[in-house]
Structure 1
Amino acid sequence: MNLTLPKKQASKKADSDSPSQARHIRRVLFSWLFTWDIYLILLVAGFLRLFALNTSEFDADQATIFSMAREAVQHGLLPIVSIRSSIGIEHSPAAIYPLMIPAVISADPLWATVMIGLFNTIAVVLTYFFTRRYYGRFAALITALLYAAATKPLNYARFLWQPNMLAPVILLFMFALFWGVVERRKGWFFPALLLIGISYQLHETSTLLAIPLLAAVVLAPGTVRWRDLALGIASLLLIFSPYILWELSSKFVDLFITLREAKIPAHFDTDAIYYYRFLLSPNGFNSYFQ
């Protein structure tokens, strides 16, 4: 017995399925409109991240980042680097590109700070969606509200700085990992590579995300396809092409600086303890200096 449908019948079945899928998507989206959790989370996260932003921190780094975006817009330039890091290398330009949007609107950096607040408000909402999908509604509500009101994430969500754009990108990265490892679906590896590349460009400490990425590959090797790897590598080459141009034009000066810094002898101290105190501090002060 042949259990396959003839081509004409199969096409008719596919055509009949598409309206039902569209109706299902509309029902799901419509149901979110009546989920009171989201409105509460948006209210708390949005208010705390957007209220009185004209009093937020604005130092040399903030002025430099926004001025680079503003000058790129005014003069039609394509930034290939961002601000200089503490060890002397140039950061990648990924943080400049989204800031060019508020730079078009106004020369006032307040609107760029508003963008940072909106990015981090979206991160809180993504936290709710992520936790609700994999751990349940109650856990999602508690997690999102804790994240929305936590002191240090709130502090870093209220001023202009390239690492402060990381939160929504990392949440999307976690979605990609769980898509492959937990749900055993294919197609996650390409966006995961792209997101880890964007995260690295926002700040080099995101290199640590390679650890959960490798763990995901080990736990779900059957979900990784060769075309995802090819697309991921191509996307990384694309987003890093401006920075590669800088390295070529500067004769890889940043690489030599990094190698020089890597030769500094290792030492033991208690800085890690102070940083943990800083992280856990409820009033937002750095206990290292107290």
Structure 2
Amino acid sequence: MTFLFLVALSLLFRVTFLQAIEFKADEATSLFLATRPLFDHPFLPASSVSSFGILNPPLFLYTLFPLVLLSTDPRFLSACIGILNAFTVGLFYLLIKRYYGKHVSLITSLFLAVSPWAILFSRKIWAQDFILPLSLPLFYAFHKIRYDKDKRFWLPYAVFSLLLIQVHQALLFFLVPFNLFLFLTKPRVSFRHLLLGIFFGIIPALPWVYYEMTHGLPTLDAVSRAGGRVENGLTITHLLRPFQILHTGNWFFIMGNDIAEFAAKYPLLFRLRPLFYLYYPLLLFGMFIFWRKHTLSRPLLYATLCLPVLYALLHIPPHMHYFIVLLPLLFLFIAIGIQFLSQKFPFAKFPIIGTIYLGIVFLSFFNILFLQFTEKKGSLSGDYGTSYGANEKLAKRPLEKYRKTKKYQEMLLATYVPLGAFRGDTIIASMVYDPKSTKKRLSLLDNQFKSTPEDARIKHELLAYYTTTAPREETLVLLRQKSKNIPSYSPIYSAANAMHLEKTLRKAFEDPMLGIALEFPKHWDLQKTKNQTIITGDGFILSLQPINTLCTAQSCVEETEMLSSQTVEKMTCVTKENMWCGIVYGPIHNTTQQFFITYKPDGKQPSPFVPSEEYTHATALLKSILDSLRQL
């Protein structure tokens, strides 16, 4: 009965309010990739790319595939994942009851059932939502090996260790110390079962291994470049995360500024939050009791302590989902601390247990009210983003006329995916869309895009093709022209132009009054006044200034071509000492407006001589800016 109660309690928060499930870029992309075999596309050798650019093995997509055969509705898939996690809570109860006692298992499982972070990471289409279900058999195998001396369980121990890494590679930082401390205890090992487990655990990753070997080891390259994206320095935040994940800590990250509205609507919830600070000393105390009483399980404690420390030392960002694997262990430590205090100090038993159960009731109300709030609001300004319910309305409306066609379902799934998810320089884009194949079909795709501008499948493929490498100026010119002929090309041009600016470390500037646009180095500053635009950086000043009197053709000297191949006067200022003091272009004609471009040293450093390397550098910078000048 307790098992069924815990499963039912867990289901209450995991399979309700399905319109409010998280459904943004990661979830939509995962669903789109998992369903591709349904639409006559091959299975992919990888499931996604991590925030560090590391390619993840395809296990997650393989796990989703049997479910998408039944339905591609995100609510159905999220409900299935929620059901799996709810039964995981019940099974954790049985596991902990067997090795640590009934009362410890009940408290641990109740915490796990109502934990806001455990719920958040168990009701969406995301690989990390499988961490707890996969860690359960790993922990069970560990206990069978340590307590029951059953060497056969080295097989599932190895299998699920490898599967966990394939689901989320950051789990290496838990599993490495966990295995290290386990083997330091010199357990009896069945190498036959261990090797069999490694063999079976690697099988789902073989397509990924083959892709890596035949494509120049892109993951190794991503790892080598990841150093530039890690956190700078060791922070206390890494060490706080295991405490915050116990309750509603760091919930601002999820809700953003909407947490103020939520707090104003339910003030009692936020007044009671200090109650959970009691968990912090209980956790530390419980860890000590666990270490003293459960010596065979110490590798679990050591791995728990090592995880945040390793993240901190290696400067890995302390995202909350990097600590999911710790949730059952943290609650286990607290439960063991509570049991010890209750036995040691009987007079304090009821106040302690009462406070704990009050916290569980509080979290239950918090979860229901949060889900209600999110479903009604539709989107949150924090990481939660837009809910499925809100996304569904936006995606289905423009596709209504295709509802009865065969391509509707795939078009709908592609519409949920943000355009940038398949930018051509990402590994996943090149895996889904072969540039050589796209090149052969460009004319066909353009015609289809013209007749079916709502088809996001075409949009994704074209973007992947045009952004395989940083777009050059001629590519941008082509895309601008295509945008005029096929308006649905506009977002592709915008994304390609944004990539060009990003890769060349440049900013774009548009001046509607002058009717022109240009690019300049990203680190330069721009100031716009009523009469002129001034761009400064690297010791130079570039200004664009309109003139009110039109000049005659006779007063313009043919000196250089600029803006629609017109000839403009270029005046270079050089002092008697042969020092460069600036260049003026103009007047430059654009429709009914004329303007000058002035480029000169800012006067903070000595002006360069003509000729000199400094002068060559200055004029090269100017040329790179003027080459980007175009009409709007």
1:242 aligns with 2:207: yes
Matched with 2:97 is: 132
Percent of residue pairs identical: 23
| 8 Å CA contact retained: 1:151, 1:284 | no
Matched with 1:52 is: 17
Match of 2:72 among 87, 107, 123: 107
| 8 Å CA contact retained: 1:181, 1:220 | no
Per-residue deviation, 1:287: 6.1
Name the one with the larger helix percent: 1
Distance 1:274 1:180, change over 3 A: closer
Per-residue deviation, 1:176: 0.5
Per-residue deviation, 1:182: 1.5
1:146 aligns with 2:106: no
Per-residue deviation, 1:283: 6.8
| 8 Å CA contact retained: 2:115, 2:246 | no
Matched with 1:18 is: none
Per-residue deviation, 1:248: 1.6
Distance 1:234 1:69, change over 3 A: same
| 8 Å CA contact retained: 1:82, 1:95 | yes
- Which structure exhibits the higher relative contact order, with contacts defined as CA atoms closer than 8 Å and separated by 6 or more residues? 1
Distance 1:167 1:219, change over 3 A: same
1:285 aligns with 2:251: yes
* Distance (Å, rounded) in 2 between the aligned partners of 1:107 and 1:159: 13
* Distance (Å, rounded) in 2 between the aligned partners of 1:172 and 1:98: 16
Per-residue deviation, 1:219: 2.4
Letter in 2 for 1:166: I
* Distance (Å, rounded) in 1 between the aligned partners of 2:240 and 2:179: 29
| 8 Å CA contact retained: 1:103, 1:109 | no
Matched with 1:184 is: 149
1:179-208 per-residue CA deviation (whole Å, 9 max, x = no partner) reads 101111111212111101110111011112
Letter in 1 for 2:127: Q
Structure 1 portions without partners, runs of 5+: 1-35
Structure 2 portions without partners, runs of 5+: 258-632
Matched with 2:48 is: 83
* Distance (Å, rounded) in 2 between the aligned partners of 1:264 and 1:145: 38
Root-mean-square deviation (Å): 2.3
Question: Which structure has the larger Rg?
Answer: 2
Letter in 2 for 1:268: L
Per-residue deviation, 1:138: 2.0
Distance 1:287 1:71, change over 3 A: closer
Per-residue deviation, 1:154: 1.1
1:71-128 per-residue CA deviation (whole Å, 9 max, x = no partner) reads 1233262221011111112111111112112211122122211121012112201210
Counterpart secondary structure, 1:221 = coil
Letter in 2 for 1:271: T
Match of 1:121 among 86, 89, 104: 86
1:158 aligns with 2:154: no
Per-residue deviation, 1:171: 1.2
| 8 Å CA contact retained: 1:49, 1:158 | yes
Letter in 2 for 1:114: A
* Distance (Å, rounded) in 1 between the aligned partners of 2:7 and 2:244: 27
Per-residue deviation, 1:220: 4.7
* Distance (Å, rounded) in 1 between the aligned partners of 2:198 and 2:68: 31
TM-score normalised over the length of structure 2: 0.38
Matched with 2:8 is: 43
| 8 Å CA contact retained: 1:169, 1:199 | yes
* Distance (Å, rounded) in 2 between the aligned partners of 1:262 and 1:184: 42
| 8 Å CA contact retained: 1:129, 1:140 | yes
* Distance (Å, rounded) in 1 between the aligned partners of 2:50 and 2:80: 22
Distance 1:225 1:40, change over 3 A: same
Distance 1:269 1:236, change over 3 A: same
* Distance (Å, rounded) in 1 between the aligned partners of 2:251 and 2:93: 27
Matched with 1:30 is: none
* Distance (Å, rounded) in 1 between the aligned partners of 2:121 and 2:86: 12
Per-residue deviation, 1:229: 2.7
* Distance (Å, rounded) in 1 between the aligned partners of 2:165 and 2:75: 25
| 8 Å CA contact retained: 1:176, 1:191 | yes
Matched with 1:268 is: 234
1:198 aligns with 2:146: no
* Distance (Å, rounded) in 1 between the aligned partners of 2:249 and 2:24: 21
* Distance (Å, rounded) in 2 between the aligned partners of 1:136 and 1:221: 24
| 8 Å CA contact retained: 1:89, 1:257 | yes
Matched with 1:19 is: none
Matched with 1:214 is: 180
1:63 aligns with 2:14: no
1:36-81 per-residue CA deviation (whole Å, 9 max, x = no partner) reads 2112112101111111122111001000101111112332622210
Distance 1:218 1:283, change over 3 A: closer
| 8 Å CA contact retained: 1:173, 1:195 | yes
* Distance (Å, rounded) in 2 between the aligned partners of 1:242 and 1:139: 42
1:5-48 per-residue CA deviation (whole Å, 9 max, x = no partner) reads xxxxxxxxxxxxxxxxxxxxxxxxxxxxxxx2112112101111
| 8 Å CA contact retained: 1:126, 1:168 | no
Number of residues of Structure 1 aligned to a counterpart in Structure 2: 254
* Distance (Å, rounded) in 2 between the aligned partners of 1:257 and 1:206: 18
* Distance (Å, rounded) in 2 between the aligned partners of 1:273 and 1:217: 26
Name the one with the larger strand percent: 2
Distance 1:158 1:237, change over 3 A: closer
1:223-270 per-residue CA deviation (whole Å, 9 max, x = no partner) reads x11212321232233222111011022210111221232477862334
Counterpart secondary structure, 1:87 = coil
Distance 1:262 1:188, change over 3 A: farther
| 8 Å CA contact retained: 2:160, 2:201 | no
| 8 Å CA contact retained: 1:66, 1:112 | no
1:96 aligns with 2:61: yes
Counterpart secondary structure, 2:50 = coil
* Distance (Å, rounded) in 1 between the aligned partners of 2:241 and 2:151: 39
* Distance (Å, rounded) in 2 between the aligned partners of 1:115 and 1:274: 32
Distance 1:237 1:160, change over 3 A: closer
* Distance (Å, rounded) in 2 between the aligned partners of 1:217 and 1:275: 28
* Distance (Å, rounded) in 1 between the aligned partners of 2:166 and 2:200: 13
* Distance (Å, rounded) in 1 between the aligned partners of 2:98 and 2:6: 16
Distance 1:72 1:153, change over 3 A: same
